[in-house]
A and B are shown apart, each in its own frame.
Chain A
Amino acid sequence: MTHRESLHKAAGNGLIHRRHLLGLGLGGLGVAAAGQVLGADQAMAFELPAWSRRPGPGPSRYGQRSPHTDHIGRLAGDPNPLYPGGGASRSPLHLLQGTITPNSLHFERHHAGVPAIDPAGHRLVINGMVRQPLAFSYEDLLAYPMVSRIHFLECSGNSGTLLGASPVDGTAQSIHGLVSGAEWTGIRLADLLAEAGVLEGASWVSAVGADGASMGRSIPLTKILDDVLVALYQNGEPLRPEQGYPMRLFVPGWEGNTSVKWLTHLKLGTAPSQFRDETSKYTDTLPDRSSLQFTFPMGCKSVITSPSGQMALVRRGLYQVTGIAWSGAGTIRRVEVSADGGASWADALLESHQSEKALTRFRIPWDWQGQDAILLSRAIDDRGNVQPDRNTILAERGNLSTYHYHGMQSWAVGTDGNVRNVYV
């Protein structure tokens, strides 16, 4: 029996059981990989390289990445004179691994650009239906007890292009790059509200940023008291300006726009404020022309990041299909992968640190021998939510709006190895 035949098939068109990633069978995979490396190494002279023959630069005050990785960047549109500072940049999902997005590569969405805030002149005000309106300085807040939580953040416009009539020739970054994962550290907003004293009957909190747009969103008080943070740190360092420095709201699992950056004002009341960005925008019109408002939790979702759109498979043999999954409702419990357009499915390996409302990395081995394939992934969370396919979403809500799309992504692999976005 050849090595390839010894691999346990998990589903059609080359998917191999995930147990081969868990130690059992790993040796076999190693042999296959070594065979490929050996071929590539024929031209390499095995002499000690120049960098092994001299000392390099010493420690530095602030680290820099290798110049050999400086092609990895966010994808931003051109500056728009009609919308100064507005727009978005997308995370290079196809070039990253793990579940934590580096701060420099976390996606951005701004409504009036990044304000240059001097924290000494910034205040967080809490007013409205509270016993005592309060103002907090940045220095004040640094002294409060903090918690750290790992969560995804996703713009509700992410992946919306997949509701278009024909599939765009895009990448995992250009189509799905408005999602990122990070560890957020901050103060439980419930603690600050307790200090101000929430009055009986208050049920909504309006949050406003200090950017040029004074962007505002309304959030139910129940969610605020459950798990919302005033975040001061991202991945261990103070927030970057484009992520809200010196402070932002962080609303776990909910559409990214509710996590108001440059947070300066929280007002408690009995109703939402009906801001522009929760009426005219971030609402979804249905085929009957009614529109869904306050669609908060982001759906149960996954995307294969490798292989993915505009990549090319350059050799036959074993690949690791990998991607990310997340759910605004809870914890990812299972991700299934298909290599035959959904005819058969295999469970992917989930990495061990799955947590609530956070990115989960999945992986599964795949044997590609030059055949046509359509790769799909399907996420399932601990609340029983199953990621739907595109046709199901279209049947349910039509395509009059492009927010809150969480359908499956299909990547077609051609016999030439080229990978492209398709609809199935």
Chain B
Amino acid sequence: MSKFIAVPAMLIGAITLATCTNAAAPGAADSNQTPALGSPVSESRLADFDLIIAADGTGLPAGSGTADLGETIYRSRCQACHGENAEGRGSAAALAGGSMQSEGPPLRTVGSYWPYATTVFDFIRRAMPADAPKSLSDEEVYQVTAYVLFLNGLVSRNQVLDRDSLPAIVMPNRGGFIDQSRIQ
């Protein structure tokens, strides 16, 4: 490394080369430049740490819930900000109703806008309630997710949501997005 510090121009050259190598063959990249201090960790040890729920449901935990059970949680933990009928208030978003085809600016809610039901579970579990994020159990997250979807007419009051049934829900605006990610 000392030669890199002494000759910055060579460092730039080395970085450019390494970038090209990585871009050409990810996974085969040369890590000789690094001290390799990362500690190996097994996926099983990350079960409580890794909160990511993929759109296909990968990562959803065990457990289940219904809107009927979720209403109780909504009333005690969500309603104060999001409103009695999830109509929203200030920066606490409206969670139900609206239509992307409405006259005038559309009300964008979970029901009218969100493309994936898995995102509802993922977001509630990682970030809600805003005054005590991560204070709901997985079971409670399933329940309140079911209630929000119920308010949007997307599940029935007693429909059981779990790691299999939640990702199967087709959201109304699922096809409403244009992926711009290739424009870089």
- Flag whether B31 is at the interface (Cβ < 8 A): yes
CB-nearest residue of chain A to B4: A145
0 or 1 for each of B103-131: is its CB under 8 Å from A? (1 = yes): 00110101001111011001100110011
Select A275's contact among B4, B90, B106, B122, beta carbons within 8 Å: B122
Chain B residues with Cβ under 8 A from A31's Cβ?
none
| A199 and B27 form a contact (CB under 8 A) | yes
In A191-234, the 8 Å CB interface with B consists of 191-200, 202, 206, 208, 212-216, 220-223, 225-227
* Contact partners of A371 in chain B: CB under 8 A: none
- Minimum distance in angstroms from A119 CB to a CB of chain B: 15
| Size class of the B contact interface (CB-based, 8 Å) | 35 or more
Whether the Cβ atoms of A194 and B29 lie closer than 8 Å is yes
Chain A residues closer than 8 Å to B178, beta-carbon distance? 290-293
Of B39, B51, B116, B177, the residue contacting A135 (CB under 8 A) is B39
B160 contacts A by Cβ under 8 Å: no
Known: A220-B181, A273-B122, A292-B178. Is A134-B39 also a contact (CB below 8 A)?
yes
Q: Does A391 contact B (CB under 8 A)?
A: no
Whether A131 pairs with B43 at a CB distance below 8 angstroms is no
Residue of A nearest to B32 (CB): A194
**A112 and B38 contacting across the interface, CB-CB below 8 Å:** no
Q: Does A32 contact B (CB under 8 A)?
A: no
Q: How far apart are the CA atoms of A144 and B26 in the complex, in Å?
A: 20
Contact in complex: B22, A225 (CB < 8 Å): yes
| A111 interface residue per 8 A CB criterion | yes
Interface of chain B, helix or strand or loop or mixed? loop
Given the contacts A195-B38, A279-B115, A296 and B181 also touching, CB distance less than 8 Å: yes
Given A193-B29, A222-B23, A280 and B126 touching (CB < 8 A)? no
Q: In the bound complex, do residue B18 and residue A271 qualify as a contact, i.e. CB atoms below 8 Å apart?
A: no
CA distance A58 to B35 in the complex (A): 42
Counting chain A residues whose Cβ lies within 8 A of the other chain, the interface size class is 35 or more
Q: When the two chains form their complex, are residues A290 and B41 in contact, meaning their CB atoms are under 8 A apart?
A: no
Q: B19 an interface residue at 8 Å Cβ cutoff? A: yes
Q: Are B181's CB and A84's CB within 8 A? A: no
**A194–B40 CB distance below 8 A:** no
Task: Say whether A274 contacts B176, CB under 8 Å.
Answer: no
User: Which residues of the partner chain B approach A143 to less than 8 Å between Cβ atoms?
Assistant: 35, 37
B50 — which chain A residues lie within 8 A by C-beta?
A: 125, 127, 265, 267
Find chain B residues with CB under 8 A from A195 CB.
Answer: 31, 34, 36, 38
CB pair B106 A214 closer than 8 Å: no
In the complex, chain B residues 127-184 whose Cβ is within 8 Å of any chain A Cβ: 127, 130-131, 133-134, 173, 176-181, 183-184
The reply to whether B176 and A289 form a contact with Cβ atoms under 8 Å apart is yes
Q: Is the CB of B184 within 8 A of A222?
A: yes
Judging by beta carbons under 8 Å apart, are A82 and B183 in contact? no
Among A188, A194, A274, the residue within 8 A (CB) of B118 is A274
Choose from A134, A226, A294 the contact partner of B181 (Cβ within 8 Å): A294
* 6 A-B pairs with C-beta separation under 8 A: A82-B130, A144-B34, A190-B22, A221-B26, A293-B179, A294-B179
Residues of B within 8 A of A (CB): 1, 4, 11, 15, 18-19, 22-23, 26-27, 29-31, 33-43, 46, 49-56, 81, 89-93, 100-101, 105-106, 108, 110, 113-116, 118-119, 122-123, 126-127, 130-131, 133-134, 173, 176-181, 183-184
- Interface residues of A, Cβ cutoff 8 Å to B: 80, 82-84, 86, 111-112, 125-127, 131-137, 140-141, 143-145, 147, 188, 190-200, 202, 206, 208, 212-216, 220-223, 225-227, 265, 267, 269, 271-276, 279-280, 283, 285, 289-297, 400
17 extra interchain contacts, Cβ-Cβ under 8 A, other than A83-B90, A273-B55, A294-B181?
Answer: A84-B131, A125-B41, A140-B39, A188-B15, A192-B38, A195-B31, A195-B38, A198-B27, A208-B52, A213-B126, A227-B19, A272-B181, A276-B123, A280-B119, A293-B178, A293-B180, A400-B106
